Amino acid sequence: MAIADLFTRPAAVPADGGGASSGAAAFGRRPVLAGAGLEDLFAWVDQVAALTQPDRIHWVDGSRAENEALLRQQVDEGKLIKLNPEWRPGSYLARSHPSDVARTEARTFIASAREEDAGPTNNWVAPDEIRATITPLFEGAMRGRTMYVVPFSMGAVGGPLSHIGVQITDSAYAVTSIGIMTRVGTAVVEQIAAGTPWVKTVHSVGAPLAPGAPDAAWPCNDEKYIVHFPDTLEVWSFGSGYGGNAILAKKCFALRIASVIGRDEGWLAEHMLLIRVISPEGRRFHLAAAFPSACGKTNLAMLRPTIPGWRVETLGDDIAWLRPGEDGRLWAINPEAGFFGVAPGTGESTNVAAVETLWGNTIFTNVALRPDGDVWWEGLTDDVPAELTDWEGKAWTPASGRPAAHPNSRFTVSAGQCPQIAPDWETPAGVPLDGILFGGRRATNVPLVVEATDWTHGVFLGSNISSERTAAAEGTVGELRRDPFAMLPFCGYNMADYFGHWLKVGQQLRFDRAPRIFQVNWFRKGDDGRFLWPGFGDNARVIDWIIRRIEGRVPAVDSPIGRLPRTDDLNLEGIDVPQADLEALFQIDRDLWLQETDLTEDFYRTFDGRVPAALYAELAALRYRLRATA
């Protein structure tokens, strides 16, 4: 059969193409457009089809009717459970195979031409070697399946900060998820036709079907690979259907590949939330923040301040692209269109805005199912249901002795449903940043908030973000899990060069217009193991001080590690934080910090001399200031 004969509509899709975007002849058809850029696209699709040998090829146009048809198809095939529309209209539950529940970081590779360009924090493999390994896996991998061609845009289609890509996949679950997380459709193909560069991504669950053979509810393969080719801007993912491994527009493109594009073009692709903070007087400030997992990133993205008069508008919860502007400022967009969030721990007491976002039109994965057809997970409500069906489809009660929802269970939902989403969150030009926050989960040493003295010092702070694996023993610093800039798993090139790129971007900014950089730590504990800071909505009190620093309205106290607040300048009205706790939140232990500088030097040495000299100078200056402290 010729490749062209495969471009037909799957039986589950209406033949009339109701609601299809202009430029597509009908659902599933090859777009009827002209343009030099399409020749490469069509040739690439034909090449992948010849390799993977699908039964059908479906071009995704991004229409609502098409999406609904694909969801119905998955319900009919037993791959999705439709939730009770009375409780969650337009929502579905997927249950993955127990072996396919998270990102496969150990099987994630950077295939740069030179090993040193990947650096010691990435799994490097030679491009020719890995192509020889994965190409046989993809041969015939889509037999019996539909190959979907998904053109998508990260950021508004055609926006000055946006980039586009095309994902080929044999997973309808991936297609409907990509449709939530990105801007999908014929408008993107029109950009390609006009000559806009694009990134190539290929995904297969690695489970070909023999004629007449039944399909699995969650097809996957025990052998898994996610391979990034930064020199040719490609991603190839095999064997997993899980979102982080199958939605290649997300971490794979928006961070690992985009970080390489940003390095070459002079901008930054970052694992950062993006918010607008509005003061009681109506002044607006834009902040980006990088936190590793389990450090409160989503909660800050949807913060509801406890200080009267303050408001936060959400612009993005996970990824931000930052580009220097002609005005000397740093401009930011959220390149995503949705939230792919961890469900457990998300509840009305921790993040009511997230709960309200999930009212409908959501794909849940590996959460529990209630008897009434709604979903539940640990932390959603204080009251635990008496009976559930757990994430593996088994009967569950509170006496079962196991979680009802998988700890990494997820929700995928449009960002536009967030009740506090900024009205202009999709503006193509982005927003100008006033501040950047870095934070980890530190029980010791790191103060509640510290301001960097300048951009270079801020890069130094970002390069040392870490969380403690274990509680610190007396007189020592706990074992640190390093996650510089919260980008350790997501930087597509040598992280030492990435530090240098941050320094170069700072040189493109006007010193008086560059965003101020701060480090925050909501998780410092007292000697009794108790958290010293209330957190959640009260984190707005730290944001309040940060904004007053940006405005120049309050002074700061110089310390060996940076600028600290005067405790009297923190707005603590309405909460009770004992003075002893306040003092402990900002205590600088000279000896423990000197131990930490040794750990920093050990970390820098892993990069074989590639860490910029400016950061070693910051380390030396920190040691000097600490030793000069009585």
pLDDT (tens digit per residue) in 109-150 = 999 999 999 999 999 999 999 999 999 999 999 999 999 999
- Residue 200: predicted pLDDT: 98
The one-letter code for the residue type at 216 is A
3-state secondary structure of 103: coil
Please pick, among 220, 252, 295, 491, the residue that the annotation labels catalytic.
295
- DSSP one-letter string for 260-299: HHHHHHT-EEES-EEEEEE-TT--EEEEEEE--TTSSHHH
**Rounded CA separation 458/610 (Å):** 19
Encoding tokens for residue 197?
A: 């560069």
- Residue 37: predicted pLDDT: 80
For 230, phi then psi, to 5°, come to -65, -25
The residue written with tokens 């232990």 in the block is 589
- Residue 25: predicted pLDDT: 33
pLDDT (tens digit per residue) in 419-476 = 999 999 999 999 999 999 999 999 999 999 999 999 999 999 999 999 987 543 444 5
Say if residues 567 and 586 touch (Cβ distance below 8 Å): yes
Whether 295 is catalytic: yes
Encoding tokens for residue 357?
A: 């976002």
* CA distances for 114 relative to 85, 125, 494, angstroms: 53, 9, 10
Q: What is the dihedral of CA 417, 297, 177, 430, to 10 degrees?
A: 70
Encoding tokens for residue 195?
A: 């000559």
Say if residues 560 and 534 touch (Cβ distance below 8 Å): no
Q: What is the dihedral of CA 439, 440, 445, 448, to 10 degrees?
A: 40
* Domains defined for the chain, CATH in brackets: 3-62+103-265 (3.40.449.10), 270-336+427-627 (3.90.228.20), 338-417 (2.170.8.10)
Can you give the pTM of this predicted structure? 0.94
How far, rounded to the nearest angstrom, does the alpha carbon of residue 581 sit from its chain's CA centroid?
Answer: 33
For 46, phi then psi, to 5°, come to -60, -40
Say if residues 335 and 323 touch (Cβ distance below 8 Å): no
Say if residues 166 and 235 touch (Cβ distance below 8 Å): no
**Rounded CA separation 598/575 (Å):** 38
- Residue 9: predicted pLDDT: 41
- Residue 23: predicted pLDDT: 32
3-state secondary structure of 176: helix
Average pLDDT of adjacent 10-residue blocks, the chain of 630 residues: 51 34 50 81 96 97 96 98 97 97 91 97 98 98 98 97 97 98 95 95 98 96 97 98 95 98 98 97 97 88 95 98 98 98 92 97 98 98 96 98 96 98 97 97 96 98 88 56 96 98 98 97 94 95 98 97 97 95 96 96 97 98 93
pLDDT (tens digit per residue) in 546-596 = 999 999 999 999 999 999 999 999 999 999 999 999 999 999 999 999 999
Q: Is 415 exposed, middle or buried (0-12, 13-18, 19+ CB in 10 A)?
A: buried
Encoding tokens for residue 199?
A: 């990134």
Q: What is the dihedral of CA 557, 560, 561, 564, to 10 degrees?
A: -10
- Residue 436: predicted pLDDT: 98
* CA distances for 400 relative to 344, 386, 407, 433, 607, angstroms: 17, 11, 16, 48, 47
Find the helix packing angle between 613-627 and 455-463, rounded to 10°. 90
Residues linked to residue 412 through DSSP beta bridges, in sequence order: 340, 363
Residues linked to residue 467 through DSSP beta bridges, in sequence order: 481
**Rounded CA separation 418/414 (Å):** 8
Q: How many CB atoms lie within 10 A of CB 559?
A: 17
